[in-house]
């Protein structure tokens, strides 16, 4: 019976497989094979034994390891025994010189490496979609908002480009953290490599080269968890960007704003009692799950504060943190990609909202021009502020109020006022900024 929603509701099959028991078992098998091969290279075990371990270890089964664990209550030793049963005379060389976490942490490194490859693919797809939407809407002028209030104009192209730029930085971060978090170790019981004599450093380097992982410089019995904390902070950062996008899309879909809409299927139901509802449920799902992903950060940090050369307090915690946070991050990336691909921008409502304040939101452009014409900037600010308040109170167009103010009309003609209050004329370098972002980030999508 499925219990956790990542078992049946959230997550992709690919990421669930990475963090499932079968792949975890296979990663440990791969680590054991790589250890034997590295030890053979450096003449610590016979080459024939390494060959036999590599040939036979894949015949070990998760089911058999579970049976053994029931008897001995040690998960790693159960896997070692299940491998040894398949390896004949070479069984004595299985797990030679290793402690449990040499294999367990190295297996985690393999899973993290696999996970980052999937996350990277989705981040590239997300970036590609955002760049397309940026280009599509590069000149779509809309109301900018600060503090929830309409301000001077911006463009939808710039909004999408800001999210694209953030996503590009996540791809940079991913490549920066990969060698620090996709890492393995072969350091023995307390980190001294004493069981490998004077060949420990070489064995570790060769083993991790075989596995395609970075290796630790030093460790105790476990890899220092600052590495994993960085991994979870990266996931939380990605999730927070998606949360940020989701919050904005939900706000813009409010009935009284109505500038965007999530794609809505012909048979989709919005409410069990209000038949008219078209709710932004996918964006809301992303925002909700982002909270769970961020919640992994504190326990991940605490997992680095272990006693002496190690204790076991991190182990049970990580069995939950890694699959949950990683699967959910992969899931919300996939969801947000679909949301953005299907997002409908209602240009009629965009224009309605842009003109909603009858020019009052363009007050800054008038103030700037009055200053250019010779008025003191502070005086210009006060005059435009007062005329804006009068226009708001009287529900009148700002152009009308400005046209009746002698301090304004002595410097500006009616035609100039109308031009200054046209939002299409006040987007600065927004188009050029978007073009530069697209040019810079497009290569990252390839």
**3-class SS of residue 395:** coil
DSSP 425: G
For residue 132, what are the CA distances in angstroms to 44, 122, 264, 440? 56, 15, 21, 14
Q: Is 251 a catalytic residue?
A: no
Phi, psi of 138 (to 5 degrees): -60, -30
Within 13 Å of residue 61, how many CA atoms lie on the same side as its CB?
3
DSSP 270: S
Q: 170: buried, middle or exposed (CB in 10 Å: 19+, 13-18, 0-12)? A: buried
- Token pair 């950060």 is at which residue? 297
**3-class SS of residue 344:** strand
Contacts of 323 (CB under 8 A, 6+ apart): 6, 16, 19
Structure token pair of residue 78: 């159960």
Structure token pair of residue 298: 């504190």
Rounded Cα distance, 249 and 246, in Å: 5
Catalytic residue among 147, 272, 276, 406: 147
Catalytic residue among 4, 61, 271, 344: 271
DSSP 114: H
For residue 159, what are the CA distances in angstroms to 178, 251, 427, 432? 29, 14, 13, 13
Count CB atoms within 10 A of the CB of residue 356.
12
Q: Is 331 a catalytic residue?
A: no
Rounded Cα distance, 298 and 158, in Å: 34
**3-class SS of residue 293:** helix
Any alpha helices (H) in 144-198, and if so which ranges?
A: 156-181
CB 329 within 8 A of CB 119: yes
Question: Which residues are marked as active site?
Answer: 147, 271
């Amino acid at each position: 019976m499925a219990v956790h929603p990542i078992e049946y509701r959230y997550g992709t099959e690919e990421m669930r497989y990475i963090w499932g028991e079968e792949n975890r078992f296979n990663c440990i098998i791969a680590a054991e094979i790589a250890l034997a091969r590295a030890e053979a290279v450096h003449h610590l075990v016979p080459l024939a034994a390494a060959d036999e371990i590599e040939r036979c270890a894949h015949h070990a089964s998760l089911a058999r390891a579970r049976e053994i664990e029931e008897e001995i209550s040690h998960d790693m030793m159960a896997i070692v025994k299940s491998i040894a049963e398949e390896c004949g005379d070479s069984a004595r060389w299985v797990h030679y010189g290793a402690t449990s976490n040499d294999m367990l942490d190295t297996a985690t490194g393999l899973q993290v490496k696999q996970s980052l490859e999937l996350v990277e693919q989705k981040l590239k797809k997300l970036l590609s979609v955002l760049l397309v939407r940026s280009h599509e809407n590069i000149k779509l002028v809309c109301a900018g908002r600060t503090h929830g209030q309409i301000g001077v104009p911006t463009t939808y192209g710039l909004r999408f480009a800001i999210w694209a730029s953030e996503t590009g930085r996540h791809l940079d971060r991913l490549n920066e953290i990969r060698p620090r978090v996709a890492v393995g170790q072969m350091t023995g019981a307390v980190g001294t490599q004493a069981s490998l004599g004077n060949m420990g450093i070489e064995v570790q380097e060769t083993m991790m080269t075989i596995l395609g992982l970075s290796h630790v410089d030093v460790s105790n019995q476990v890899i220092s968890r600052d590495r994993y904390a960085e991994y979870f902070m990266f996931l939380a950062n990605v999730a927070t960007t998606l949360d940020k996008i989701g919050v904005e899309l939900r706000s813009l879909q409010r009935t009284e704003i109505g500038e965007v809409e999530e794609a809505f299927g012909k048979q989709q139901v919005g409410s069990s009692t209000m038949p008219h509802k078209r709710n932004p449920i996918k964006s809301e799902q992303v925002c909700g799950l982002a909270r769970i992903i961020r919640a992994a950060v504190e326990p991940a940090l605490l997992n680095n504060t272990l006693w002496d050369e190690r204790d076991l307090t991190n182990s049970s915690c990580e069995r939950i943190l890694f699959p949950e946070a990683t699967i959910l991050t992969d899931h919300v990336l996939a969801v947000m990609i679909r949301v953005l691909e299907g997002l409908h921008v209602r240009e009629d409502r965009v224009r309605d909202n842009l003109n909603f304040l009858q020019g009052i939101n363009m007050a800054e452009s008038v103030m700037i021009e009055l200053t250019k014409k010779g008025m003191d900037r502070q005086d210009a600010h006060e005059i435009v502020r007062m005329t804006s308040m009068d226009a708001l109170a009287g529900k009148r167009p700002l152009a009308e109020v400005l046209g009746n103010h002698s301090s304004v009309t002595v410097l500006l003609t009616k035609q100039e006022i109308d031009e200054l209050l046209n939002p299409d004329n006040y987007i600065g370098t927004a188009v050029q900024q978007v073009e530069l972002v697209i040019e810079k980030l497009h290569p990252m999508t390839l």
